[in-house]
Each structure stands twice: as structure tokens, then as C-alpha cells.
Structure 1
């Protein structure tokens, strides 16, 4: 029996705001969508790998999600760290930097952390 990664999921409160963030911050684009009466699933891809990020929008949800201590994250490798850092600094979404390791984290509109690492 063989398994392979399919996607990761984040639940979001404002689907359009989240999609705009992920496109601007990480150049992720919608690759497919599933609409149901109570929820919408949008899958974002990087155009290079088959892995996707599923954004789940529960239409009746109004309260923020409890992310605990936010010890989990997704990591994204980038060729030009200086250019990426400048973009994320302009967006105001950098939430933690470890200059010694040469990495930093950004936070999406719902508070999920995303690690940025050199390719």
C-alpha cells in the first residue's frame, strides 16, 4: 500500500481575503473549487508541484479559529529571499524571524504561520 501527500487544509473566515493574501504573498492560485450550500473548498497550487493548500470556508462561521499555540506550519522555499522578505515586509505579515538560521515566518489573515526558507 502506498500513500502520497494530497493537500493541507486551513479553515478561513474570509475566503476572498485569504485567496488574495496567498496569491500576493506566495503566488498561489486557485486550481479547483467545490461549492456546497454550507461551505466552499478552494484548492490553491504553486504551478510547480501537485501539492495544494485547501482553504475551507464555512459560510455560517463568524468566530475566529482557535489555533492553539500555532506550533504547526507550512514551509515555502524561495529562490530570492531578499525579494520575498521585502514583499512580506511591505505587506506587514512577517511575524517571526530567525536571522541566524536565515528563515522567517509570515502570518495569513487567520493567523496561520507560513515558513519562508531559501531554496
Structure 2
């Protein structure tokens, strides 16, 4: 008798942020993420954000004694969100003052692979917003 294989479930990604209020406001306005849980500890606070479209969460870590911006280094890439209407979302981001970069499209073998734009959160973390299409649907 063989044991059942359990597939790991992705549950969250964590970033360190300077200002909880500023970051929660950005992720709420940009992606509809709301606070699912908030856990203050001595020296730091953990804030878990999510929306109704997924159980995956973004964990914000706020170190209470931190006053300088974090060095994002050259190892962090981005987190990505898929949306139904990339043009409408891009316009909404612009109206919200979130400074989205221009919409771009990648083609492969003559077909659209991805249509997307990037935006940066208040701490400079890059976020890719993709049109639901193909593998990104």
C-alpha cells in the first residue's frame, strides 16, 4: 500500500514594509486586498492581506524600530496579479494615482503570450498586473 502524496499549497509571500497604513492603503486600492489577520508582537507586526479571489495572502512585516527604507537588492523580482480587463485596470490605477508603467505585450510564435503593466508599491516592490489570458488565466 502506497502513501498518498500531498501537494504543497502556496499560502503567502512576505515583504518588509516601513509604514503599515501606507502599504495597506496601496494594496487595498490597487488589488482589493484587505486585512485578513493582524498580529502585533514586541518589536514587529505581521499583517496578512487577501481578497475574495484567492486564499493566497500577502504578509506584510513591519519592524517597529525600522526608519530607513529597505534595500530591495537584486534578488527580488515581482509578485503578479491577473485581471479581466488590463486597459480598464491600467486606467483605474492611473486615476488612483498609483503611477502604473505603460501596458506592454509579449508575443511568441506570432501569438499573444502576455499583456501586462508594472506598478511599484510604496516601498518600491515591483508588481506585475497581467491580462487573464492563456497560462495567466
Calculate the TM-score normalised by the size of structure 2: 0.79
Greater length-normalized contact order (CA 8 Å, ≥ 6 residues apart):
1
Larger Rg: 2
Instruction: Tell me whether 18-27 or 98-107 shows the greater mean CA deviation.
Output: 98-107
Please give the root-mean-square deviation of Cα atoms over the aligned residues, in Å: 1.7
Q: Which residues of structure 2 form unaligned runs of 5+?
A: 107-113, 133-137
> How many residues are paired up?
119
Calculate the TM-score normalised by the size of structure 1: 0.90
Closer, same or farther: CA 92–70 of 1 in aligned 2, 3 Å: farther
Whether 1:114 and 2:110 are equivalent positions in the alignment is no
Structure 1 runs, 4 residues or longer, greater than 3 Å off: none
Closer, same or farther: CA 16–56 of 1 in aligned 2, 3 Å: same
CA contact (8 A) 1:106 1:113 kept: yes
Match of 2:100 among 86, 94, 99: 94
